[in-house]
Each structure stands twice: as C-alpha cells, then as structure tokens.
Amino acid sequence: MATVALDSRLSRPTAAFLSRTHKLLIDNEWVSAASGKTFPVYNPATGTVLADVAEADKEDVNRAVRAARRAFDSGPWRRMTGAQRNRLMWKLADLLEQHLEEFAEIESMDNGKPLAVARVADVPFAIEWFRYMGGWATKIGGTTIPWSAPGDFLSYTLREPAGVVGQIIPWNFPLLMAAWKLGPALAAGCTVVLKVAEQTPLSALRLGELIQEAGFPAGVVNILAGYGETAGAALAAHPDVDKVAFTGSTEVGKLIVQAASGNLKRVSLELGGKSPTIVFGDADIERAIPGAASAIFFNHGQCCCAGSRLYAHKSVFDRVLEGVTAEAKKIRVGPGLDPSTDMGPVVSDEQYRRVTGYIESGVRDGAQIVTGGRKVDQNGGYFVEPTVFTNTQPTMKIVQEEIFGPVVCAEPFDDADLERIGRQANDTLYGLAASVWTKDLSKAHKMAGLLRSGTVWINCHNVFDPSLPFGGYKQSGWGRENGAEVLSNYTEFKTVTARL
Ligand code: ADP
C-alpha cells in the first residue's frame, strides 16, 4: 500500500472517503480484485499517490457480467415499472445533491479541475442528468403501425431494454460521464457493468456507495476500476454483454468495435474531435473573444468538443487573436483546490507529456506561439500554460490531431463564400462540434447546415443540456448521447403482429 497524501483543505467526509480501501462494486458487494492487485491513483496537482484502488481484470469482468446478467434475467429490476426505476434514479440524484461538496472535492483532487468548476458544473450536471433520464423511464414506448399491404392484422412495436450493458468512460468529467452513461441505461431497464478510467476512478466508486444507499437491486450497477487494455478490453469483448457504450479516443473506439464483433454486440461511441470556432467579421467581438477562449480553455481543453481550431475573418483576426491571447494570459494555473485557480493541472503525467509533445511538434513544424507553450513548474504537478498558436498549416499535426489540452491554433480566413469556409472547417477526420459567431442570422443558420458535425453552437460553445443529443459525424463516433436519441442505444425494438 502506497502512502497516500491527503490535502488538509479537504472536508472530513472527503478525507474519510479517500482514506478508505477502494474496492470493486460487484453484485452489491464491495470486493477486492480476484488477483488481489491494486493500482495507484495520482493527484495531478502534485504527482503523488492519492489512493490505491482494486485493479479489475478479466476475472472481475466475468464476475460483474454474471451479476449483471442475473439481475437482468431474473432479478427484481426486470419486474419494476418505469415509475419505480424513475424513483430510484431521483433518489440517487437527491443523495448526490446532499453530498455535492464531497463529490466536487473528490473530482477536483482526482481529475485536477478547479473545485469551483466541479461545484457548479460536474456535480450539478450529473444530478440533472439522472433526473432528466429518470423521467424517460416512464416514457419509453412503441407505436401502433398502420398496415400498407392488404390483410387484417394489428401491428405494434415494443421497446425493450438492450440487456447487459458494458460502459467504458474517460477521465475528463469522471462523475458526469458516469451519469451520462448510467442514466439512459437505467431508464431503459438495462443492467450495467461500468468500467471507469484508471486515472480518475474515485467519484464513480463513491457514487457506487450512493447507488447502494438508494436501494438499486443487486447486480443492476457494477462498477470496476482498472486499466483499459485489460479490464476495458475484456468488457468490450465479453460474449455475454449485449451492448457496449464507450466514450474516449477515436483510436480506442476502433479497438472497441473490433472487440465487440465477436458476438456482434451493439456499439455506441462518443469519440474525439477537433472542433472549429468560426468568428465572422460581423460577430459581437466582445462576446466572441471570451467565448472562443472558453471554447478551448474550459476544463483545460480536456473536452472532446473543445474549440481547438479558431478561424476568424481577416477583418477581425488581429483583434480576436489579441483578445484570446489576453484571456489566456489572465488564466491562473494552479492546484484545483486553491480558490484562486482558474485552470488546474492536466490529468496525468502521460497527458502532460502528450500535450507538451504536441506543443513541441507545433514549434518544430514552424507554427508560432503567441502565448503559453511552457510547462508550469509547481510542486511536481502536471501543469501546462494555456497556449495559442498561429501561422499554422492545415497539414500540421497540431491542426489535425486531437491534443486534448489547453492548446488552440488560430488562423484568419478571407473568404465570403460560406461553402468554402465550411469545407475548411470540415477538413478533419472528426465531426463532433463547431461554433459559429456572427450577428447575421441567415449566415449563422446556413453555416449550421454546412458543418459536418453533431453539434453546432451559434454565438456560444460548450453549452449542454440533458435534453440535447450529442455525438459525432465521421470519426467522432456512432450514435448520440442524451436527449430522447440516446435511448435507442439502450433499447431493442420488437415488432408484434397479430392476425385479427
Ligand atoms: P484517453 O486517451 O483520453 O485517455 P482512452 O480512449 O485511452 O482515452 O480511454 C478512455 C477509456 O477507455 C478509459 O476508461 C480507458 O481505460 C479505456 N480503454 C483504453 N484502452 C482500451 C481498450 N483497448 N479496450 C477497452 N477500453 C480501453
């Protein structure tokens, strides 16, 4: 057991949780990994060990899938009405609300994000997601279908839960991603094995305790911490899992598709992005500048929809570049628990090396750093300066590849032809999100039509609601999260036809 360094600013409940032994939730019991192994979870603000967590591997995945299968086939969950599932989900949301501060602290310590952000975004959003999705539990129905061919038949569809679901989530919004995944699966009546990211397993493990307290039947939610190549891969390949839902990198998304092919399990993927922020000459520049800065720097750029390519019309480019640079310089980088911090460390040493590696590659390729670009030396944490590049070329790695850090590439455009601007904005493998900044309504909506991305924001960026479908075109994914659309990830249609 490694020595765990706790921060004296943490509240008592958080300190008590972090000091506990962290196990796996299987069939309503907290159990050690079958191998007995644990792995260290790091505090990204210091690089020291924050907790030791049981390390799930194939055998634990087998146990969890068995529990989820039993709960799906023969447990009380299957017989519950949507209204009963809804009540459990609202109870969970209420419990989460009662422990909001504790979850915000856990999230800040584990992921590195500012406590103030976790308090107003991650945790309240997770609560809202459970409540919104709980509402769907009573509204998932089929339709009666009028016949086209001659004959005296009655046909209707039923929507039934997809079955045992494997869910694999990333580290950028650990609790919120758990809510995005668990909410619709539970509303639909599925049972779940959730594999959380190895960098940030803690808030989901604490959520597991609240799931028990709320009274979900045994085996309905199983939570495993462990590495992707072992536990994640075993879950994606498991022959008794009916559906796998994944959020993470496009590279791993492709591995998930291959692993899922063994039993042709259903797959939904929410993957990477390289989203454009497009500022027209007629935009409200006073709003567009902080908007474009927040599009990339919110959550340290660790958002799949981060506005990492900034295009501004040449008539306003200098002002926009100067403004975004000034915003970047204002950002105070420091530990998440420090109240004066605007931006915490990136999540891990690996991510730190990846982001700084991209910055070095941009410089090598001849792009110009306008601000940032340096590592911030602070207590051994993984801090990177908010960075703005210009003078880039469309083929550069920093323009094409997802960096997943606080790094934006800014370029002017001098075109009035919206189709050409659309082609430039669409020129990546990805198609997750885009934002358009203009006061011209017609231009805004025409651009929304031209952009090949699952979300287009007009005069805003990073705006979410549980009711809004979210997901990607092209290599940004398959299927949609949220809204009514996500339910199709977790339901099967059954067509029933009766001769009358
Ligand atoms: P990132 O690059 O942002 O860390 P990843 O796509 O690597 O994102 O990870 C997202 C999630 O996918 C994590 O829970 C991780 O453990 C898991 N994962 C990584 N590799 C695999 C894999 N080969 N099979 C299944 N899950 C994986």
Which residue, 218, 176, 219, is CA-closest to 197? 176
Q: What tokens does 202 get?
A: 């803690």
CB 67 within 8 A of CB 24: no
249 close to ligand 1 (CB < 6 Angstrom): yes
248 close to ligand 1 (CB < 6 Angstrom): yes
232 close to ligand 1 (CB < 6 Angstrom): yes
pLDDT higher than 70, residue 1: no
CB 389 within 8 A of CB 409: yes
C-alpha 476/C-alpha 480 separation (Å) is 11
Question: Average pLDDT in the 110-125 region?
Answer: 98
* Side chain identity, residue 421: I
- Chain centroid to CA 226: 18
C-alpha 271/C-alpha 277 separation (Å) is 19
C-alpha 248/C-alpha 245 separation (Å) is 10
Which residue, 340, 292, 254, is CA-closest to 436? 292
β-bridge pairing 221-225 and 191-196: parallel
C-alpha 57/C-alpha 67 separation (Å) is 16
Q: What tokens does 263 get?
A: 């039993």
Residue 307, Ramachandran bin (φ over 0: left; ψ between -120 and 50: alpha; else beta): beta
User: What three-state secondary structure class fits 374?
Assistant: coil
Q: What is the pLDDT of residue 416?
A: 85
CA of 292 to the centre of ligand 1 (A): 28
Packing angle between helix 12-19 and helix 202-214, nearest 10 degrees?
100
Pick the residue with more confidence: 416 or 442? 442
Instruction: Give the length of the chain.
Output: 500
The protein residue with its alpha carbon nearest to ligand 1, atom 2, reads: 249
168 close to ligand 1 (CB < 6 Angstrom): yes
pTM: predicted TM-score of the whole model, two decimal places: 0.97
Which residue, 282, 296, 302, is CA-closest to 327? 296
φ and ψ of 461, to 5 deg? -155, 150
* Element spanning 88, H or E: helix 82-98
Catalytic residue among 55, 198, 270, 402: 270
Which residue, 171, 233, 231, 166, is CA-closest to 35? 231
pLDDT higher than 60, residue 2: no
CA of 229 to the centre of ligand 1 (A): 7
pLDDT tens, 153-211?
A: 999 999 999 999 999 999 999 999 999 999 999 999 999 999 999 999 999 999 999 99
β-bridge pairing 368-371 and 309-313: unpaired
270 is annotated as an active-site residue = yes
Neighbours of 354 (CB within 10 A): 14
Q: What tokens does 222 get?
A: 């199983």
* Side chain identity, residue 171: W
Looking at residue 3, the DSSP 8-state letter turns out to be: P
C-alpha 39/C-alpha 226 separation (Å) is 8
Share of the chain above pLDDT 70, in %: 99
488 close to ligand 1 (CB < 6 Angstrom): no
> Residues with Cβ < 8 Å from 130, sequence gap 6 or more?
89, 90, 92, 93, 96, 179, 182, 183
CA of 198 to the centre of ligand 1 (A): 9
User: What three-state secondary structure class fits 24?
Assistant: strand
384 close to ligand 1 (CB < 6 Angstrom): no
CA of 260 to the centre of ligand 1 (A): 15
Averaged pLDDT score across all residues of the chain: 97
pLDDT tens, 126-159?
A: 999 999 999 999 999 999 999 999 999 999 999 9
Q: Determine whether 397 is exposed, middle or buried from the number of CB atoms within 10 Å of its CB (0-12, 13-18, 19+).
A: middle
pLDDT tens, 233-256?
A: 999 999 999 999 999 999 999 999
CA of 435 to the centre of ligand 1 (A): 27
Which residue, 408, 344, 99, is CA-closest to 200? 344
Q: Pick from 168, 196, 247 the residue to mutate for probing ligand 1's pocket: most ligand atoms within 8 Å of its CB.
A: 168
Packing angle between helix 123-136 and helix 82-98, nearest 10 degrees?
170
Q: Which residues pair with 495 in a beta bridge?
A: 157
User: What is the C-alpha radius of gyration for the chain, rounded to an integer number of angstroms?
Assistant: 23
460 is annotated as an active-site residue = no
Q: Pick from 252, 256, 348 the residue to mutate for probing ligand 1's pocket: most ligand atoms within 8 Å of its CB.
A: 252
201 close to ligand 1 (CB < 6 Angstrom): no
The protein residue with its alpha carbon nearest to ligand 1, atom 27, reads: 228
CA of 268 to the centre of ligand 1 (A): 14
